[in-house]
């Protein structure tokens, strides 16, 4: 094997090469393709050093969220001082919200170029999972591309986790290009989600490679729940709306590529799209390909998908490896600055389907901060897509925590997607199409179509009592629901 050109290291030896305060870039876009053995060893090293009273913390950047071996182990070992751009780990979230990790929540399409431009300083070490590295520095990545090509290009030193578990042929699906920096950045030539514009490998200067850690591990992915009543209701509103748009000619007959966010509701929406006789076979231009989309690819309902990561169930990974000729013609794995590229999203006319924690009666959406303060995961790619989409849809259940929280509120406590980027809001109660509506009409439609019936009277009254202006708000009372939640544990105490 050509990778024999590089020294073999144990994960522990690799961890010894990383210093306190280093800026470390690691592969991973979701748990797919995330570094595993080296971050686990870094966590152990940090714990040992802390026990000796020595400081050891690193600054960590990845493509997006990662698996347990990375975010959970490093957070538990108190080994991270700074983290970007997205995480979905309970341990990491707790440390961020306790003020112990400085977290920078970023649009995912910005990550590679921010690193390339040097916005966060020099990357000291990149730890990248790959299925092969050749002696001239071609790196074949695994189940996600993320920001790894840029990390490999910009880091001073590189450690490769050579994982033999994922099929080497996964990289047949890779299409890797790093856009030149401005001011002479050429336009992306993407007229179709499945168009190839790059190479199947990333490139590294071989002299930077400190060594290879051999691994044999699956991605640490959680499963998906079967769609519940809530997800099915939301999905059916979305599908009816898109079918109507198609029937009335506002979506072209061949349909438009879909982006679908993370989580169970997004998975249920994708599944319902496939089940609907009114939706033609379609394409996806998305950042995460989840299990429901894989089933549709197999059945042919999904004609093809461009993504940045594969978050599939273990049995689907086996099926993928066994049928690579079929899937490799229908899937493309791209770096996140291409999968989430605002120009590509606008050019291809992507329909963006994302989840919010709360939305307000004027159409702003909060996807990240509970009651405006505690981070959940991060904005991820939702803003890359929503702002530039042909149609931008946000959904969430109308209530959370058994009805103690209304997700439809007078004013969002944190705004990730403003009224200009949100065209449709959906809950299990119904769908509010906000296109062309001025603020007062938006409020009425969101309250009547999306809010839970228990909260509608309060929201109607809020609008009525607010000062009349272009947007009716009462600055003294716009957060009363949140205040009530903080004081009593429920937005509407009995
Ligand atoms: O809490 O887990 O304790 O029960 O928040 O809510 O309804 O299970 O929703 O798992 O789909 O996540 C927005 C976080 C939704 C996700 C968000 C509580 C609720 C529950 C989770 P429990 P659900 P989901 C592509 C696109 C941003 C990134 C993005 C997300 C928990 O979709 O991170 O879109 N999006 N990326 O009870 C307090 C509220 C609440 C609330 C829900 N208003 N107040 N708690 N909850 N609403 C992917 C990438 O970028 C890689």
Does the residue 149 lie in any domain?
Answer: yes
Question: Do the annotations mark residue 377 as ligand-binding?
Answer: yes
Same domain, yes or no: 21 and 68 = yes
Query: Which residue's C-alpha comes closest to atom 4 of ligand 1?
Result: 401
Q: Which atom of ligand 1 is nearest to the CA of 286?
A: 25
pTM: 0.96
Question: Do the annotations mark residue 264 as ligand-binding?
Answer: yes
Ligand 1 centroid distance, CA of 264 (Å): 10
Domain boundary (161, 185, 215) is at 215
Backbone angles phi, psi at 355, to 5 degrees: -105, 140
Query: Which residue's C-alpha comes closest to atom 3 of ligand 1?
Result: 401
Question: Do the annotations mark residue 329 as ligand-binding?
Answer: no
Ligand 1 pocket test, pick from 94, 106, 233, 262 with the greatest ligand atom count within 8 Å of Cβ, gives 262
Does the residue 221 lie in any domain?
Answer: no
Does the residue 360 lie in any domain?
Answer: yes
Does the residue 145 lie in any domain?
Answer: yes
Higher-confidence residue: 490 or 221?
A: 490
Ligand 1 centroid distance, CA of 427 (Å): 14
Does the residue 408 lie in any domain?
Answer: yes
Question: Do the annotations mark residue 354 as ligand-binding?
Answer: no
Please give the Cα distance from 220 to 123 (Å, whole number): 25
Task: Please state the domain count of the chain.
Answer: 2
Tens of pLDDT, residue by residue over 392-405, are 999 999 999 999 99
Tens of pLDDT, residue by residue over 318-349, are 899 899 999 999 999 999 999 999 999 999 99
Ligand 1 centroid distance, CA of 224 (Å): 14
Average pLDDT over residues 129-146: 98
Domain boundary (191, 215, 239) is at 215
Answer whether residue 1 shows pLDDT above 50: no
Q: 494, exposed or middle or buried, with CB in 10 Å at 0-12, 13-18, 19+?
A: exposed
Does the residue 176 lie in any domain?
Answer: yes
Same domain, yes or no: 273 and 209 = no
Tens of pLDDT, residue by residue over 458-474, are 999 999 999 989 999 99
CATH no. for residue 64? 3.40.1080.10
pLDDT of residue 116: 97
Same domain, yes or no: 9 and 112 = yes
Same domain, yes or no: 175 and 272 = no
- As given in the structure block, the two tokens for residue 68 are 């347990």
Same domain, yes or no: 135 and 258 = no
- Residues with Cβ within 8 Å of 419's Cβ and at least 6 positions away in sequence, in order, are 362, 363, 364, 434, 439, 442
Helix (H) or strand (E) holding 444: helix 439-450
Ligand 1 neighbours, Cβ below 6 Å, are 30, 64, 86, 108, 261-263, 265, 287-288, 354-358, 367, 370, 376-377, 379-382, 397, 400-401, 405, 407
Same domain, yes or no: 204 and 238 = no
Same domain, yes or no: 202 and 265 = no
Active site amino acids: 287
Domain boundary (187, 215, 243) is at 215
Does the residue 223 lie in any domain?
Answer: no
Same domain, yes or no: 478 and 384 = yes
Strand segments, DSSP code E, in 323-467 are: 331-333, 351-355, 358-360, 365-366, 369-370, 374-375, 391-395, 399-400, 405-406, 408-409, 424-427, 430-433
Range of the domain at 153: 2-215
Question: Do the annotations mark residue 381 as ligand-binding?
Answer: yes
- As given in the structure block, the two tokens for residue 329 are 């013609």
Ligand 1 pocket test, pick from 28, 146, 266, 355 with the greatest ligand atom count within 8 Å of Cβ, gives 355
Ligand 1 centroid distance, CA of 116 (Å): 30
Ligand 1 pocket test, pick from 233, 376, 425 with the greatest ligand atom count within 8 Å of Cβ, gives 376
Instruction: Please provide the average confidence, as pLDDT, over all residues in the chain.
Output: 96
Ligand 1 centroid distance, CA of 357 (Å): 6
Same domain, yes or no: 211 and 235 = no
Does the residue 299 lie in any domain?
Answer: yes
Same domain, yes or no: 136 and 49 = yes
Please give the Cα distance from 103 to 75 (Å, whole number): 12
Same domain, yes or no: 389 and 354 = yes
Answer whether residue 227 shows pLDDT above 90: no
Same domain, yes or no: 257 and 368 = yes
């Amino acid at each position: 094997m050509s990778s024999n050109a590089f020294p073999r290291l144990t994960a522990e030896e690799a961890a010894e090469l990383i210093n306190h305060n280093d800026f470390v870039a690691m592969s991973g876009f979701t748990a797919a393709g995330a570094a595993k053995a080296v971050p686990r060893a870094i966590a152990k090293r940090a714990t040992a050093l802390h026990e000796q009273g020595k400081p050891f913390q690193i600054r960590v950047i990845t493509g997006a969220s990662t698996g347990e071996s990375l975010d959970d182990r490093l957070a538990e070992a108190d080994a991270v001082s700074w983290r970007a751009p997205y995480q979905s780990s309970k341990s990491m979230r707790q440390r961020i919200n306790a003020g112990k990790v400085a977290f920078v929540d970023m649009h995912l399409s910005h990550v590679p170029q921010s690193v390339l431009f040097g916005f966060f300083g020099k990357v000291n070490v990149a730890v990248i999972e790959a299925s092969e590295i050749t002696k001239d520095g071609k790196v074949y990545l695994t189940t996600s591309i993320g920001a790894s090509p840029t990390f490999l290009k910009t880091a001073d030193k590189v450690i490769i986790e050579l994982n033999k578990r994922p099929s080497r042929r996964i990289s047949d699906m890779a299409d890797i290009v790093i856009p030149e920096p401005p001011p002479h950045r050429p336009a992306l030539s993407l007229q179709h989600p499945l168009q190839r514009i790059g190479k199947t490998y990333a490139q590294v200067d071989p002299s930077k490679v400190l060594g290879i850690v051999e691994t044999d591990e699956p991605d640490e992915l959680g499963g998906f729940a079967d769609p519940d009543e809530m997800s099915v209701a939301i999905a059916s509103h979305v599908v009816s709306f898109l079918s109507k748009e198609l029937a009335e000619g506002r979506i072209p007959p061949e349909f438009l590529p879909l982006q679908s966010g993370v989580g169970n509701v997004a998975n249920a929406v994708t599944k319902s799209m496939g089940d609907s006789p009114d939706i033609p076979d379609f394409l996806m231009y998305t950042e995460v390909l989840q299990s429901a989309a894989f089933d549709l690819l197999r059945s042919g309902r999904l004609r093809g998908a461009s993504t940045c990561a594969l978050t599939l169930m273990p049995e689907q990974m086996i099926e993928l490896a066994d049928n690579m000729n079929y899937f490799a013609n229908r899937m493309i794995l791209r770096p996140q600055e291409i999968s989430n590229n605002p120009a590509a999203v606008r050019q291809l006319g992507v329909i963006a389907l994302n989840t919010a924690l709360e939305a307000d009666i004027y159409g702003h959406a909060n996807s990240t901060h509970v009651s405006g303060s505690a981070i959940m995961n991060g904005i991820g790619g939702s803003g890359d897509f929503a702002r530039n989409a042909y149609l931008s849809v946000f959904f969430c259940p109308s209530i959370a925590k058994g009805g103690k929280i209304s997700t439809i509120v007078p004013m969002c406590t944190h705004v990730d997607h403003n009224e200009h980027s949100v065209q449709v809001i959906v809950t299990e109660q119904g769908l509010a199409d906000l296109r062309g509506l001025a603020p007062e009409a938006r409020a009425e439609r969101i309250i009547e179509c999306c809010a839970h019936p228990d909260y509608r009277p309060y929201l109607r009254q809020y609008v009525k009592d607010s000062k009349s202006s272009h947007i009716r708000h009462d600055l003294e009372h716009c957060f009363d629901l949140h205040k009530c939640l903080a004081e009593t544990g429920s937005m509407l105490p009995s």
